[in-house]
Structure 1
Amino acid sequence: MQFTYVNPTQINFGQGQIESIKSVIPQNSKVIVIYGGGSIKRNGVYDQVQSALEGYQWIEFSGVEPNPTKETLDKAVALVKEQDVDFILAVGGGSVIDGSKYVAAAAHYDGDGWDIMVGKHQVTSAVPVGAILTLPATGSESNMGAVITKAETHDKLPFMTPHVQPKFAVMDPDVMKTLPERQLINGVVDAWVHVCEQYLTVTHGAMVQDGYAEALLKNLKSLGEQFDQRDSDAWRANLMWNANQALNGLIGSGVQHDWATHMIGHEFTALWAVDHARSLAIVQPSLLRNQFAVKKEKLEQMGKNVFGLADSDTLAEQTIQAIEAFYHSLGVATQFDGYEGTKDQAVESVINQLEQHGMVALGEHQAITLEQSRQILDLAITA
């Protein structure tokens, strides 16, 4: 194990914590509140934010989409520059927080913000960001990554820089009370796959990372099984904290990562507007079967330690089936049929996107070529 780990995001967790932003946003800041489609005005979160920002100079920007687009975010970038904003408060789920990170970085750059996404501009500074999480799923509230879509070209790309890591994250489980069932399910699935991308790789002997990853997976499995208890304070708090821990950098420290499921899944979202979490559930089982030989040992470990399966010659395949059954128990599909035209055309559409984005060597061994991706898609997309 060779790694440096630091997570500077201050977490204010628990009921009533929105009020705490007044103690973590510098008093002389000019703040922009960035949010999505307006649900925060219906569920009382906006009113709490407004109260907490009393005495601050602040403006707002709404309309960030579930898959935040460059086109919308560039309007916020222009506003931040025009109004000399010096603090960004993201109020929403992963999409709003991701979008706010793009705004933060692009506002300190004179060129096209998309240059950041394609590696033409290296971020060296950004407007400080804080987050009020309203939808647990991505862990974006305490990491340095973001995924942004360019609607014009159907490009969906990630970027990472410590300059956009949130200074603080307010995590009040009460804000989940009005979330639709679909979004809660997506949160469970998204967090589950985040853990898998860092765990279902190679055997490495890093006991803390594996043990913690398995604990998170068992927790998420229990939350899925107890979905009928989603209206309880404990269920909400546990999902919120598990989703955060799944992608705050800890379980991935010093071990190999995969992320191929995400890279392929992003194209389903860009092409067909599939919910991010549901695109992952579509891709993952087929990818695990395609990469069966290299992931067999870890699949067997997961089968025993997460699902409680007995040792057998078919343990690894049983584990994949158990993952599928977990998704199905939540009403989440593991194959895709929502395309127009033929299956072959759908497969080629994804392959063309992957090639265009340079996603030609994916996975922990960089061994998932376009041909391997085609085989995965052939399993994941139904005729």
Structure 2
Amino acid sequence: MHPYGLYLPTRLVFGENAIERLPELTKGFGKKVLIVTGGGSARRNGILGRARELLRDREIFELSGVEPNPRITTIRKGVEICKKEGIEWLLPIGGGSVIDSAKAIAAGAFYEGDAWDLVLDSSKIKKALPILVVLTNAAAGSEYDDSGVISCLETHEKLPFGSPLLAPAASVMDPAYTCTVPAKHTAAGAADIFSHTLEQYLVADGSILTDAMCEGMLRTVIECTRRVLKNPNDLDARGQLMMASSFGCCGLLSIGRTPSPWPCHAIEHELSAWHDITHGEGLAVITPHWMRWSLTEKTAPRLAQYGVRVFGLDPKAPAMENAGKAIEKTSGFFRSIGMPAALSELGVTDEHFEAMADHAVLHRPLLSTAFRPLDRGGILAILRASL
């Protein structure tokens, strides 16, 4: 088993009306709070209003309009508010994009230079404002980790950043808050959770315990996504997906295993940087093609194990046969929840593939340690097969 370390400082507060604990959870955080939201759903469904009522003894400022692929221009606005108004803590109400933005703002509030510097080099993050999350979409897992992803449209870059200082102090999770998420975004969020899990599962060496965790996560996402798409008000299934979101990206699934360089995310981030597509949709396209490209005699046994334990394939069948079937089952699942099967469905052409491949290998040198070592040529092959 591989050496590992795990530190999870965020308190998860899950359940009906969990938001009512905001005053208790933020005691000692300070008077001035910046609430960060996305496109307006938090206001329309009443969550923002309830948060304001519960924090009526605080001085509240707002930053709205965070994009699905959060942009550094929006982060700069948030940092400016923090510095001008003396903000003492942040309350993101939303999904991964909103939470990622709050993390970048929390760090930028104490940085003298441009916030994009912190994305390019996270070692420059020396201090950050406290963050408390109200989660409204099960997807990225940002509510239970210390990292995020920010885009710079001017340079066509979408890059991860992170620091232990950016882990939220607490995340409030009420599955009822996800019931109004449109079917497309519910499915895209599920595809993101699925990819988080699969990319940590499909590595050279697993472990008995975390293999089982990953397999259980994948089965949960498959079952519960189908349930919520059939009945958007299925609170049990919504809650199960929230749990999968939190534990899919917090580091728990990776302990004792070969570290993953997250190849599908590396490729999808390039696609989003150039085309601003929905992250989960891009992953749903790329993942099966990455799996097909990765299938060799060496990797077939693990792919076959995945097929047997997640999709119930015949354990007596040859490994290569089961591996191929597992890939098709994965592709079929994504199609069954309404995800695209080709990049052309998202309006993507091959115009920038060369630049994407160059940028991916530049910023992700560990791709050479992937399930099947991935280089520039492999990235191009996967992108072209995905068209």
The SS at the match of 2:134 is strand
Q: Mark the CA change 1:341 to 1:187 in structure 2 (over 3 Å): closer, same or farther.
A: closer
1:8 aligns with 2:9: yes
Distance 1:59 1:347 in 2: 41
Selected match of 1:200 from 187, 199, 202:
202
Distance 1:219 1:339 in 2: 27
Selected match of 2:301 from 297, 317, 322:
297
RMSD across aligned positions (CA): 1.8
Distance 2:368 2:95 in 1: 27
Match of residue 286 from structure 2: 283
Q: Mark the CA change 1:267 to 1:107 in structure 2 (over 3 Å): closer, same or farther.
A: same
1:214 aligns with 2:215: yes
Distance 1:322 1:341 in 2: 24
CA shift for structure 1 position 39: 1.1
Alignment of 1:67-78 (within 5 A): 67-78=69-80
1:324 aligns with 2:365: no
Contact 2:184 2:338 in 1 (8 A): no
Contact 2:277 2:346 in 1 (8 A): no
Q: Mark the CA change 1:207 to 1:154 in structure 2 (over 3 Å): closer, same or farther.
A: same
Q: Deviations over 1:197-242 (max 9, x none)?
A: 11111233x2111111111111111113323133221121111111
CA shift for structure 1 position 359: 3.5
CA shift for structure 1 position 295: 3.0
Letter in 2 for 1:251: L
Contact 1:351 1:374 in 2 (8 A): yes
Selected match of 1:66 from 64, 68, 84:
68
Q: Deviations over 1:23-74 (max 9, x none)?
A: 1113433211111111111101011101111211221111111111001110
Selected match of 2:310 from 306, 309, 327:
306
Q: Mark the CA change 1:234 to 1:363 in structure 2 (over 3 Å): closer, same or farther.
A: farther
Distance 2:100 2:219 in 1: 27
Alignment of 1:230-249 (within 5 A): 230-249=232-251
Contact 1:360 1:368 in 2 (8 A): no
Letter in 1 for 2:170: F
Q: Deviations over 1:119-149 (max 9, x none)?
A: 2752121111111001110110010110000
Q: Mark the CA change 1:157 to 1:347 in structure 2 (over 3 Å): closer, same or farther.
A: same
Alignment of 1:155-174 (within 5 A): 155-174=157-176
Letter in 1 for 2:16: Q
The SS at the match of 2:171 is strand
Gaps of 5+ in 2: none
Match of residue 87 from structure 2: 85
Contact 2:368 2:375 in 1 (8 A): no
The SS at the match of 1:299 is helix
Contact 1:202 1:297 in 2 (8 A): no
TM-score (normalizing by structure 1): 0.94
Contact 1:203 1:298 in 2 (8 A): no
Distance 2:48 2:384 in 1: 45
Match of residue 341 from structure 2: 334
Alignment of 1:87-236 (within 5 A): 87-119=89-121, 121-204=123-206, 206-226=207-227, 227-236=229-238
The SS at the match of 2:260 is coil
**Over 3 Å off, 4+ runs:** 338-343, 363-366
Letter in 2 for 1:358: H
Worse-matched range after superposition: 362-371 or 249-258: 362-371
Gaps of 5+ in 1: none
Number of equivalences: 378
Contact 2:224 2:241 in 1 (8 A): yes
Distance 1:91 1:361 in 2: 33
Q: Mark the CA change 1:4 to 1:340 in structure 2 (over 3 Å): closer, same or farther.
A: closer
Identity %: 30
Distance 1:158 1:342 in 2: 24
The SS at the match of 1:88 is strand
Letter in 2 for 1:245: F
Q: Mark the CA change 1:61 to 1:339 in structure 2 (over 3 Å): closer, same or farther.
A: closer
1:362 aligns with 2:347: no
Distance 1:173 1:120 in 2: 32
1:32 aligns with 2:34: yes
Contact 1:229 1:235 in 2 (8 A): no
Distance 2:281 2:271 in 1: 9
CA shift for structure 1 position 352: 4.3
Worse-matched range after superposition: 129-138 or 245-254: 245-254
CA shift for structure 1 position 159: 0.7
Distance 2:349 2:86 in 1: 50
Contact 2:176 2:233 in 1 (8 A): no
Match of residue 259 from structure 1: 262
